[in-house]
Amino acid sequence: MKMWAGRTDGITDAVADEFNSSISFDSRMYAEDIDSSIAHARMLEKTGILSHEDVKKIITGLEEIKKDLEDGKLAIDPAAEDIHMFVEQELTKRIGDAGKKVHTARSRNDQVANDLHLYIRKENRNIFHLIQQLIEVLLAQAEKNKAVIMPGYTHLQRAQPITFGHHLCAYVMMFLRDLDRLNDAYQRTDVSVIGSCALAGTTYPTDRLYEAQLLGFSSVGMNSMDGVSDRDFVIETLSDLAMVMMHLSRLSEEIVLWTSWEFHFVELDDAYTTGSSIMPQKKNSDMAELTRGKTGRVYGDLMALLTVMKGLPLAYNKDMQEDKQPVFDAIDQVKMCLQVNIPMLKTMKAIPENMHRAAQKGFINATDLADYLTKKGMPFRDAYKTAGKLVHLCLARDCVLEELPLEEYRKYSDLFDEDLYRAIALSECVNKRTSLGGTAVSQVENEISRAEKKLKELSDEESIH
C-alpha cells in the first residue's frame, strides 16, 4: 500500500508503478532532499509546530540515513516511488511516529521543486568552475601562440592572416559569456520555494524566510502557485548548457579539421585520440567528434523540457517529473565534455610551420594589397579591382603576390613602389591590424589581459554566491 493511500486503497498495478516511479533517476538528489528536510524540521521546531523531542529524532534519523547512504550501508529501495517517499519511509522505519511528522506543512510539490533548486544551484557552480579552467587553458595557449601566423577563414576559404592566439581568444570570449549567463541563471535558481506547499501555501504558522536562510538561499519565491510550477530556472540552465555545447562543438569541429593531414595545424596528445581497429596509421580526434555529437543530445534535452512545459495549467502536474532526466543528462554531458576538453586543449601543440605554410597560399594578403593602393590615394573600390586582377595574373602564372616583380605591378598602377612588398608581408598584415580587438600581437596581448580581468570579475561575482 502506498504512503499516499487516502481516498484510494493505494494498491496500484505493477506496470503503473513502474511507469509512475522516478526513483531510478531522482535518487541522485538524496543529499538535497535530506538537507531540505532537516531545515524543514528546524523551522517546524522554531515555529512551535513540532516539539523539540520530535525534531531531534527527525534530524538525527535523517543525518544517519544520509551517512548510511554515503557509506553504502543503506541501499535505495527501488519500490519507493521517488526519493522523497523513500527518505520519509526510511525515517519512519527508524524513528517511528516522529518520522510521520516531517511532512507537516509541506507537499512533495514544493519539496521536489526545492530539491531541484538546490541541486541545480550546486551543479551551476560545478560547471562554472570547469569553464573557468577551460578559459585558463585557452588563455595560456593564446599567450603561447600570440605571434603564430595562420590563415583566418571565411566560408572555410582562406581569407586574411591572423594569429592562432587571436583565434583561440575568440573562444575565450564565448566561454566568458557562458560564465556570465550561468551567474545570471544562478540568481533565479538560488530561490527557496519550500513552504509553497501543494499550491496554495499553508494554515500552519511557518517561517519560510528562516527555512530559506538555513538552506543558504538568497531569496524566497513570492507566489506559492509559481513556486511549485515554475521550471524556468531549469530551462534557463539547460539553455545556457546548450550554448556551452554549441561553443565546444564549434571548437571541436575546428580541432577535427586542424588535426587532419589536409590542415595539420595542431597535434593532440595521444591520450586524447583513438586508433582504428583496421587502419594502423590512424589517429582520430574522437574526443572532439564526440563533444560535437553530444551537442545534439543537449539541445534535445532543452527542447524536451520546453515542450513538456508549454501546455501545463497551474499548478503542479505529474508531467513535470519529466524535467529531471533532461537536465541531469545535460549536466552530466556538459561536465564530461569539459573534463575531457580541458586537458586535451592544455596538451594540444600548435604546428606553426604548417600554419605559416598554409597562410602563404590563398592570397590572404590581397586585402592588404588593395589597402596599399587606397592609402596612396586610389579609391577603395578601384584598388579592390586592381588587386583582384593581380590575383588573377598570379593564378595564371602559378605564383603568389609576393613573387610578382615590380614592373608587373606597375603595369596596373604607377602607385606601386618597392615598399609594397613590405606592406603585403604576412607578419606586416597581421601586426598592422591594431584596431581594437584586431589580430595584431599587441592587440592579442591586450585581449588576453582584458579577458583575465573579466574572468576575475566573474569569479569574484561568483564568490559572493
Active-site hit among 51, 276, 442, 449:
276
Q: Which residue's CB is nearer to ligand ARG, number 105 or number 345?
A: 105
**Annotated catalytic, 155?**
yes
Alpha-carbon distance of 268 to 49, in angstroms, equals 62
Alpha-carbon distance of 354 to 262, in angstroms, equals 10
Scanning the structure block, which residue is given the C-alpha cell 561568483? 462
Contact (CB, 8 A) for 58 and 51: no
Contact (CB, 8 A) for 330 and 182: no
Q: What would the grid cell of residue 148 be? A: 603564430
Q: At what angle do helices 286-309 and 232-258 cross, to 10 degrees?
A: 160
Contact (CB, 8 A) for 87 and 28: no
Q: Which residue's CB is nearer to ligand ARG, number 38 or number 113?
A: 113
Contact (CB, 8 A) for 98 and 58: yes
Least separation in angstroms between residue 108's CB and ligand ARG is 4
Distances 55 to 100, 106, 107, 194 between C-alpha atoms, Å: 11, 15, 18, 18
Least separation in angstroms between residue 442's CB and ligand ARG is 55
Least separation in angstroms between residue 260's CB and ligand ARG is 46
Residue 175 CA from chain centroid, whole number: 8
The DSSP letter of residue 161 is E
Q: What would the grid cell of residue 396 be? A: 595564371
Least separation in angstroms between residue 303's CB and ligand ARG is 20
**Annotated catalytic, 276?**
yes
Q: Which residue's CB is nearer to ligand ARG, number 115 or number 371?
A: 115
Contact (CB, 8 A) for 245 and 337: yes
Least separation in angstroms between residue 221's CB and ligand ARG is 16
Residue 409 CA from chain centroid, whole number: 51
**Which residues make up the interface to ligand ARG (CB under 6 A)?**
22, 26, 82, 108-109, 112, 316, 318, 320-321
How many residues belong to the chain? 465
Contacts of 26 (CB under 8 A, 6+ apart): 82, 83, 112, 115, 324
Q: Which residue's CB is nearer to ligand ARG, number 24 or number 339?
A: 24
Q: Which residue's CB is nearer to ligand ARG, number 54 or number 323?
A: 323
The three-class DSSP label of residue 316 is: coil
Alpha-carbon distance of 272 to 285, in angstroms, equals 7
Q: What would the grid cell of residue 429 be? A: 598584415
Least separation in angstroms between residue 229's CB and ligand ARG is 11
Alpha-carbon distance of 337 to 345, in angstroms, equals 12
Alpha-carbon distance of 168 to 165, in angstroms, equals 5
Q: What would the grid cell of residue 108 be? A: 512533495
Beta bridge partners of 162: 150
Q: Which residue's CB is nearer to ligand ARG, number 86 or number 363?
A: 86
Q: What would the grid cell of residue 433 be? A: 591590424
The total of other beta-carbon atoms located within 10 Å of residue 396's CB is: 8
At position 435, the amino acid (one-letter code) is S
Least separation in angstroms between residue 216's CB and ligand ARG is 23
Q: Which residue's CB is nearer to ligand ARG, number 228 or number 266?
A: 228
The three-class DSSP label of residue 106 is: coil
Q: CA angle, corner 315, sides to 310 and 317, nearest 5?
A: 70
Least separation in angstroms between residue 4's CB and ligand ARG is 8
Least separation in angstroms between residue 19's CB and ligand ARG is 12
Residues with catalytic roles = 155, 276
